[in-house]
Structure 1
Amino acid sequence: MATTIPPSMAPSTANWHWKNKTVTPWAKTWFERELTTVSVQGDGSEIVSVEKVIEVDGDVELGQRKSKLITIYDCKVELDWTGTASDGTEVSGKLTIPEVSHEITLDKTSDYSYNWSLKTARSPEVDALFALAKARLPAALEAKFAQFPTAIIETHGRDLTVSATPTREGTPAPAAASATSTATAATPASSAAAARPAVKASAPAVNTSTVSVEGNFMAAADDLFSLLTDEKRIPAWTRAPAQSTAQKDSVYSLFGGGVHGKYVSLTPAKEIVQTWALRSPTWPSDHHATLTTTLEQGSDSTKVTWRLEGIPLGMEEETERNLQGYYVHGLKAIGLGTEL
């Protein structure tokens, strides 16, 4: 249900107050659908996949205050996993993640913990697959968990955010003319005015700020450049569909369309400059920031810095958390992390 504004309350004032929406049933469906797409492979024919989400226990809410949308959730997730060992043995087990929460996913207050069990009788091949599951499945799951807060906001954000722009959504279009209205003859002055082209109103100025995040990765700069721009490789760390042609002025989209823009310039293994916008109720319409990604090759790792200029004021903390969660953590989740 869309939020309505009392006649005496301006949209900015309406967005200042706390509003919450419980989305727990939707969240359980999201986990059941999204986690069962997670799969990892070994160095040979081994493969491990999430077969079924058994239980999602906890509460999920979306809150809004001071025009900011805040995800509030803490869930225990239980799932069944299956795999095929190198000798063809079908292996199954259970995995419990005691806490999937905003604090872990976005605030990084602690690491995820995993409680594993094995249902299949043990053998050297089964044990090897079990070790593979423990080594690689968490990173793939955490990349999926990183998408959860954005999915909450994209799906339910409009229900909490009051728009200053009137909308006809859900209402019939106005009739071309009213049957009860009295026709008014057009005067020369009114005809001349009608003939003049309408002046397009300029978009309101957006006060902005800048945030930067960085990470060190165990990969060469040219390989990281490819991971960040190659349409076929991007989903490895975003865990979502992508559109990207690494050419100046070409459009791109990441995270299933959640982030989009155009490439401004690309210097292989050195720098990527691109316009950047969120498909989110909290992001101003037709506003683009500029994301500059620099890569500094070291002796055994590469430092990557993301500098995002043009963030609407008030969205700095949320945007910085998302850059850390989706970009830095996304790349580290595929095994490129380093403690440097």
Structure 2
Amino acid sequence: MAKWGEGDPRWIVEERPDATNVNNWHWTEKNACNWSVDKLKELLTNFRIESEKAKCKITEVEKCEGEAVANNRKGKLIFFYEWDLTLKWKGTLKGSESSVEGTINIPNLSEENDVSEVDVNVSVKNSDPEADKLKEFMYREGSNYIRKQLGKYVNALKEEFSKGMILPRKEEVKKQSVNQDGVASLSAGFTKQVHVNYIEKEKCGLKIDTSTVKTSHKFQCKGDEFYNVMTTVELLQAFTRGAVKAEIKKGGKFELFGGNIHGEFVELVPNTRIVQRWRLKQWPAEHYSNVTIDIDQKEDHTQVSLTQTGVPRSELDLTKENWDRYYWDSIKRTFGFGSFLV
């Protein structure tokens, strides 16, 4: 999936011979979801916990819901993971032939919590003296062993997804040569050469074909809470997970996602409306769209409607997708604005 700022020809062809991420400045991301599910199942399924008191085994990873990604931002690796696990287990007390079955729920395996702080909630199918003893054993002793396995997952995630994320800086690779025809020869990381003709669209007088993005989302919060998220530097930093520059006033400038999104505030109506001149760095120079965010507080939720005009048609689908992922979904996840009672 393309990221904010990915694909900008001004830094792809001019700086890196393999056409990627100059000086590790831009945000790059690797999806670690499928790998994580497999790794967690590998570490936990059939994992045995034994002592002089009891023998227990995790028989199945019944639920493994969440996500994991590895990011490189300005040469710094950032790992995000959040998992809700349900495990099935069974065990016997030493000297007993009766088997007890139960479940373990781990709701908060995430980068926000140290592995030692992860909750390990133990339950049994049927409560009787033996089952209660085994439940106590799994809670008091077994949980520590389970946390160690989860620690192995975290270490493996960081080791596996650190590979290839920090790329050579531009001064570490050979300078590209440009011939008299204005054609750059770039080493593409393979044995052949890639030839790229430089064309500045703005100088060619090309008209930009634009369209409009319209989206609407429900948030489980008050209107002023959503407005504050979009107009408070600390809260902007929280859901964008990076440094933010913003002058929250009419005519004030803003930069998000390492400068890949920037613009200025055109109108600020507290708790009701935000209007911005907004552009993605990879768009043609000086081309801005107009973003209007209307905030409508209902009785039990807040309806947020976005209208963005002037989006280059070739960027339409990607822009909508990135609003959903990097703004709305991230806001819901970061501040808990996405939970509705049914």
Q: TM class, shorter-chain normalised? A: 0.3 to 0.5
Q: Which has the larger radius of gyration?
A: 2
